[in-house]
Amino acid sequence: MTRPRRISNPFEYWLVCAVVLAFAFILVLNGEFTHWDSLHASDLTSYWMMYCLLGIVLSGALACAGRMTWGEASPTIIGGLLLSALTLRVLVVCFSQPVLSDDIWRYIHDGATFARGPNPYLYAPADFPADQAPVPKIVERINNPELVTIYQPTSQWLFAGLDRVWQWLPETLQQHDPDHSKVFRLGFVCFDMAIIGLILFQLRSMGRSMWWAVAYAWHPLAISEVAGSGHQDVIGIAFLLLSLVWAGRLVMLGVTPWAGETGALSRMRLWVAVGAGVAFGLAVGVKPLVLPIALVLAWVLRDRPKVVAVSTAATVLTGVALYLPFILMDGGLTGMVQTMRAFVDKWAFNGSVYDLVSAYIVGKPWVDYLAVAVLLAVIVMSLSRRFTGREPDAMRTAGAFLFASLLVSSTVHPWYLLWALAFLPMYFSPALWVFSLIVTASYAAHFYEGYRVPTWVVVFEYLPVYGVLTWELWKWIRNNPTFSGRSQIAG
């Protein structure tokens, strides 16, 4: 009889522990988060404990993954990674309720409103009589019901589509999901799986180990915020990643003018350029904050002016197609714009340096201008070969921009980190990784009046992040020829 193979690779030990702890984390979510309004301190403590354990084990696995290459992967292993990620998410959707956040109830209300005809930007949830709301049982769960929705058109179209999916379900299945939350979360899980697939594709093109993908696929933040709480940010992240992947393909296709190309290559470049532009327009239609990344794409493709022109036109036309129907409806976008202003002017949550700068250095609106200047500086420096010592990389720059936007923002909810976390498998940042393991401490706000994060929690969150970030910057400066005085090797 053949003896079973012993586990000898340290990476395999970490991997087995990660899988076991991931499923234990799911059991905690499914056991503790069973009703939308039943969060207790003991539930959150159990969540934090399992979150930290899984994060520590994943850290060990990633430390080993850094010494591996894509060549060590196989279709079976890749399929197992995708299947495990999907299984973890589906289990959470089926056996838990959104507890840590109540944003999903706004999505469901918006989708039901839009699917039935009215402009979702025309009325606030509180404007509907209790018995005339599209989904009456969820109105009391919506935060800030006196405000019109802030969610952008790409999301609104998807919300309406998911509402239609629920309507098409047999009545027996509807009875198992009376508040529509399972359908919506399963829809978001589909986008989350697309993100994991795009990460794997990009890792393969870079020759990096496919195991870096577990930094997102098995991360407790991604599992709990998408499958558990049902956050719609994954829609925009998927489209942004798709746009950047296609932009990378355009770079690989070379700089030959279209006029001199074969028909097949010319058509391929054309459709990839159109696809990149459409995907980017859809991402902006989820979160307009990503719009400056267009500058990154234009710079990386600056030697291909026709490609830039086609992609830009596709992005603009996509934006028109998304926003114009709402502009032409009763009320237009006025309500959304008013809500955005209210949030920008009055809302702040879990920021790091924003409150300190606005209180002691410059107030509004100058602190906002300063934040924009910092983000533009991050883009310029990331694209500059003089500073980075390498050729401009759109995906690396986009990840740096999204991480920097978290550090200068006035509001940082845990799920906001998903935007930057999706880029971490390709370009690992210890500071971002530490942040992703600590950020859920801000959920302590559930137990403080006014849903505020106490100062000691903010210090606990950000002190390690800025400490590790300082070490990263010092290491980069020491190794950068521009600052170290060493000659720079071309290429």
pLDDT tens column, 145-166: 999 999 999 999 999 999 999 9
Q: Compute the distance between CA of residue 159 and CA of residue 116 in angstroms, rounded to an integer.
A: 12
Question: How many CB atoms neighbour CB 4 within 10 A?
Answer: 6
- 193, 227 contact by CB (below 8 A): no
**Helix axis angle, 305-328 to 293-300, nearest 10°:** 150
Give the model's confidence band at 10: pLDDT under 50 very low, under 70 low, under 90 confident, else very high: low
- Residue of 210, 184, 172 lying closest to 82 (CA atoms): 210
Helix ranges restricted to H, 96-213? 103-115, 153-168, 171-176, 181-206
In a domain, 248, yes or no: no
Output b/e per residue, 288-326; b: 16+ Cβ within 10 A: ebbebbbebbbbbbeebeebbebbbebbeebbeebbeeb
> Which amino acid appears at position 154 of this protein?
T
In a domain, 127, yes or no: yes
Q: Write down the residue that tokens 């000691």 correspond to.
A: 456
Task: Provide the pLDDT for residue 35.
Answer: 62
Question: How many CB atoms neighbour CB 260 within 10 A?
Answer: 8
In a domain, 94, yes or no: no
Peptide bond into 145 cis (omega under 30): no
Domain that holds residue 175: 103-179
In a domain, 169, yes or no: yes
Give the model's confidence band at 483: pLDDT under 50 very low, under 70 low, under 90 confident, else very high: low
pTM above 0.85, yes or no: yes
**pLDDT of 487 strictly over 50:** no
- What 3-state class would DSSP assign to 39? coil
pLDDT in tens, 240-284: 999 999 998 887 765 444 444 555 557 778 888 999 999 999 999
In a domain, 111, yes or no: yes
- 444, 461 contact by CB (below 8 A): no
**pLDDT of 221 strictly over 50:** yes
Q: Compute the distance between CA of residue 120 and CA of residue 116 in angstroms, rounded to an integer.
A: 10
Long-range CB contact pairs, 133-141, < 8 A, 24+: 133/109, 134/109, 135/108, 135/109, 135/179, 135/180, 137/178, 137/179, 138/105, 138/108, 138/109, 138/179, 138/180, 139/109, 141/36, 141/37, 141/102, 141/105
Q: Can you read off the two tokens belonging to residue 193?
A: 């799986």
- Please list, in sequence order, all residues whose beta carbon lies within 8 angstroms of the beta carbon of residue 19, skipping any fewer than 6 positions away: 84, 218
Chain mean position to CA 169:
29
**pLDDT of 49 strictly over 90:** no
Task: Provide the pLDDT for residue 33.
Answer: 63
Task: Provide the pLDDT for residue 281.
Answer: 97
Q: For residue 320, how many C-alpha atoms fall within 13 Å in the half-sphere facing its CB?
A: 6
- 430, 424 contact by CB (below 8 A): no
Rounded average pLDDT over 471-490: 68
The lowest-confidence range among 11-15, 52-56, 245-249, 386-390 is 11-15
Please give the tally of structural domains in the chain: 1
DSSP symbol at 393: -
Task: Provide the pLDDT for residue 95.
Answer: 86
pLDDT in tens, 11-33: 665 666 777 777 777 766 656 56
Rounded average pLDDT over 212-237: 95
Task: Provide the pLDDT for residue 488.
Answer: 44
Task: Provide the pLDDT for residue 73.
Answer: 63
Question: How many CB atoms neighbour CB 470 within 10 A?
Answer: 11
> Which amino acid appears at position 274 of this protein?
V
In a domain, 108, yes or no: yes
Task: Provide the pLDDT for residue 246.
Answer: 93
* Backbone torsion region of residue 350, taken as left when φ is above 0, otherwise alpha when ψ lies between -120 and 50, otherwise beta: left
**pLDDT of 61 strictly over 90:** no
**pLDDT of 67 strictly over 90:** no
- Please list, in sequence order, all residues whose beta carbon lies within 8 angstroms of the beta carbon of residue 241, skipping any fewer than 6 positions away: 195, 198, 199, 202, 422
In a domain, 310, yes or no: no
Q: Write down the residue that tokens 């992609």 correspond to.
A: 311
Q: Is 340 exposed, middle or buried (0-12, 13-18, 19+ CB in 10 A)?
A: middle
Q: Is 417 exposed, middle or buried (0-12, 13-18, 19+ CB in 10 A)?
A: buried
- 110, 156 contact by CB (below 8 A): yes
Between 261 and 469, the more confident residue is 469
Between 441 and 95, the more confident residue is 441
In a domain, 331, yes or no: no
